Amino acid sequence: MPRPYRDDPDWWKDATVYQIYPRSFRDCDGDGVGDIPGIVSKLDYLADLGIGVIWLSPVYASPMEDNGYDISDYRDIAPEFGTLADIDRLIAEAEKRGIGIVMDLVVNHTSDRHAWFEAARSSRDDPKRDYYVWRDPAPDGGPPNGLRSYFGGPAWKRDEVTGQYYLHLFAAGQPDLNWQNPVLRAEIHAMMNWWLDRGIAGFRMDVIDLIGKDPDREILNNGPRLHDYIREMHRETLAGRNVLTVGETWEATPEMGLLFSGRDRHELSMVFQFRHVTSFWGEAGKWDPKPFDLVTFKRALDDWQRALASDGWNSLFLSNHDLPRAVSKYGDDTRYWRESATLLATVNHLMRGTPYVYQGEEIGMTNAGFTEIGQYRDVETLGLYAERMAAGDDPAGFLRGAAANGRDNARTPVQWTAGPNAGFTTGTPWIGVNANHVAINAEAQIGDDASVLAHYRKLIALRKTHPVIVDGDYRPFLEDDPQLFVFARNLAGTQLVVVANFSGEPAAFETPSELEIAGECLISNHVPRDAVSGTMRLAPWEAFAVLAST
Ligand code: GLC
């Protein structure tokens, strides 16, 4: 099969992306950590699911303080994951199945074990000193200013060798790169080209909206030269190559989304926006979750749909390696597990944009269910726990927040079978396997037409056969309804109507006149429906889509 990304510059609009967090995907050598051969062993499963792209979370050489988001060598692979030969094989084997590999580009920071940082910290005069952000101490000897790390504590660490502080917006082992330095930028471009020449299909760009930071003015996201850097990167690496690029931009507004992804901007294919996620974080951030409400959720997504209606492009995702499991967060992972997992998939895949599936989501994996701090592995959770406990906070309250929103919820091993360690490893897994793997696992769902997996397979296939899903415009209905999520997609004489009852209660849906149609049921997680009309009684978590000519 030819590479999907060779001919059409917009090929990624038709594709479905599958995210792999390699550490937890599949372990082939029994060390309890997933690896690249493990990914190769599951390519047929992924091809069968129908995905066109794999976004691989980092597999580069790393001391793994943040599970690979702390890179010590951009041009080598961590031994626990494999070798460069393994990645070449993965690229080639994926390509045979029509799947492109998108690498994670983590260039806001490196590891403190990167040779650049080791040189930079050795003396104030080192030629690489300026690759990072160094400042003198404040007059009292403390950090230069009050910037805080996302993982707890100050964002500055004093380095004994030279007596200056360096900036780390994440862990102390993740020093921030200084993008104001043109030599550093050229190094990054060369590294990107080295990977692109290896045949990858693009990059997911880690916290890319931080690279324009101005730490002295405490400006982090959306700094003054952010778009200059991205356009320069495009010119130097991406231009003329038909690749997918997706930027992680926690603070982006819909207007910024258009700047990043607009047709003539020459920046990125799309970004991940997080408003539908952070709307449910409280005063103290994600550790203090707010109750879900559908109207806020729809408004966040609809605003992005509207802003990128005729230019720019959306990414569509409900979960990733930093977020809780979608079915646990937005659905009901006990009583209506199957119904709510399939409803969420239906809504997510049928909006306008490129859908992303996070590993295990396609079989309805749920949150980890950890109850003790000793079960967590994540540097963020452990760092903030230490900080909060030192401040005298209540451990039970913190653990409640972590159980709801901690990143390890999405990092338990993929549940392949009902057997020992869910078929993930023959060794001891690096993080606990969810006990519910005896019921929720891929093996039990393969071949079952009513499974969550079958529902994902169907949605992914529909995208390839119905242009209205890719190219149709998007129009929301009943925007203030707290129970129903309803939208229509229209393209050249076809209308697709999507109706979802986002709740565990039955619902009455009064069809708005514009949505009255009779046609074909494209997908449903309850009884098939081939018309939308009159007053419809919906079952709890029922979702369906009807396609008709207009
Ligand atoms: C991004 C990654 C996250 C990582 C952080 C620092 O948010 O998704 O996993 O910890 O950046 O690289």
Given 425, 448, 465, which residue is the final one in a domain? 465
pLDDT tens track for 175-229:
999 999 999 999 999 999 999 999 999 999 999 999 999 999 999 999 999 999 9
Q: What is the mean pLDDT of residues 9-18?
A: 94
Do 385 and 422 sit in the same domain of this protein? no
**Pair (353, 451) in one structural domain:** yes
- What distance in angstroms lies between residue 170's CA and the mean position of ligand 1's atoms? 8
Residue 97, pLDDT > 90, answer yes
How big is the chain by its Cα radius of gyration, in Å? 23
Domain C-terminal end among 145, 176, 207: 176
Q: Which helix (H) or strand (E) element contains residue 307? A: helix 294-307
- CATH number of the domain that 140 lies in? 3.90.400.10
pLDDT at 6: 62
| pLDDT at position 283 | 87
Same domain flag for 172 and 41: no
Which residue range(s) make up the domain with 126?
111-176
pLDDT of res. 7: 76
Q: What is the whole-number distance in angstroms between the Cα of residue 247 and the centre of ligand 1?
A: 12
The helix/strand/coil state of 248 is strand
Predicted local confidence at residue 9, as pLDDT: 87
Residue 355 belongs to domain with CATH number: 3.20.20.80
Tell me the pLDDT tens digit for each residue of 454-500.
999 999 999 999 999 999 999 999 999 999 999 999 999 999 999 99
Q: CATH number, domain at 485?
A: 2.60.40.1180
Mean pLDDT for 410-428 is: 98
Number of domains composing the chain: 4
Residue 362 among the catalytic residues: no
The secondary structure of 11-78 as a DSSP string is GGGT--EEEE-GGGT--SSSSSS--HHHHHHTHHHHHHHT-SEEEE---EE---TTTTSS-SEEEEE-
Instruction: Give 410 Cα–ligand 1 centroid separation in angstroms.
Output: 13
- Indicate the helix (H) or strand (E) that contains 358: strand 354-358
| Residue finishing a domain among 176, 197, 219 | 176
Residues 490 and 531 in one domain: yes
Nearest to 100 by CA among 22, 173, 2: 2
Q: Is residue 272 part of a domain?
A: no
Nearest Cα residue to atom 6 of ligand 1: 69
Residue 119 sits in the same domain as residue 166? yes
| Pocket perturbation via mutation, ligand 1, pick of 69, 204, 208 by most ligand atoms within 8 A of CB | 69
Return the best residue to mutate from 170, 174, 203, 378 for the ligand 1 pocket (most ligand atoms within 8 A of CB): 170
* 94 and 24 together in one domain: yes
Q: Does any domain span residue 230?
A: no
360 and 330, same structural domain?
yes
Tell how far the Cα of 140 is from the centroid of ligand 1, in angstroms.
32
**Atom of ligand 1 at shortest range from CA of 69:** 12
Helix or strand holding residue 501 (H, E): strand 494-501
Looking at the fold, whether 69 and 146 belong to one and the same domain comes out as no
Per-residue pLDDT averaged across 408-436, rounded?
A: 98
Compute the mean pLDDT over every residue in the chain, rounded to the nearest whole number.
97
Is residue 536 assigned to a domain? yes
Q: Indicate the DSSP class of residue 372.
A: S
Answer yes or no: is 123 within a domain.
yes
State mean pLDDT over 424-430: 98
* pLDDT bracket for residue 4 (50, 70, 90): low
Q: How far apart are CA 123 and CA 91, in angstroms?
A: 40
11 is a domain residue: yes
pTM of the model: 0.97
Q: Buried b vs exposed e over 419-458: b needs ≥16 C-beta within 10 Å? A: eebbbbbeeebbbbbbebbeebbbebbeeeeebbbbbbbb
Atom of ligand 1 nearest to the CA of 380: 10
pLDDT for 93 equals: 98
How far apart CA 423 and CA 415 sit, in angstroms, is 7
Segment 16-72, tens digit of pLDDT: 999 999 999 999 999 999 999 999 999 999 999 999 999 999 999 999 999 999 999
Query: Which residue's CA lies nearest to atom 4 of ligand 1?
Result: 69
Domain check: are 134 and 151 in the same one? yes
Q: Does pLDDT of 382 surpass 50? A: yes
In a domain, 36, yes or no: yes
pLDDT-based confidence at residue 108 (cuts at 50, 70, 90): very high
137 shares a domain with 7: no
- Catalytic, out of 66, 86, 159, 206: 206
Pocket lining for ligand 1, CB < 6 angstroms: 66, 69, 106, 170, 206-207, 248, 321-322
Same domain, 98 and 120: no
Please state, as a whole number, how many other Cβ atoms lie within 10 Å of the Cβ of residue 335. 10
Q: Which positions ≥6 away from 118 have C-beta within 8 Å?
A: 112
Residue 206 falls in the annotated catalytic set: yes
Average pLDDT, integer, range 115-140 = 98
> Rounded to the nearest 5 degrees, what angle is found at the Cα of 296, between the Cα atoms of 294 and 298?
65
State the pLDDT confidence band at 1, using cuts at 50, 70 and 90: very low
In a domain, residue 461? The reply is yes
Indicate whether 353 and 383 sit together in one domain. Answer: no
Q: Would the pLDDT of 2 be above 60? A: no
Query: How far, in Å, is the centroid of ligand 1 from the Cα of 433?
Result: 22
- Please indicate, yes or no, if residue 303 is contained in any of the structural domains: no
Question: For 353-373, what is each residue's pLDDT tens digit?
Answer: 999 999 999 999 999 999 999
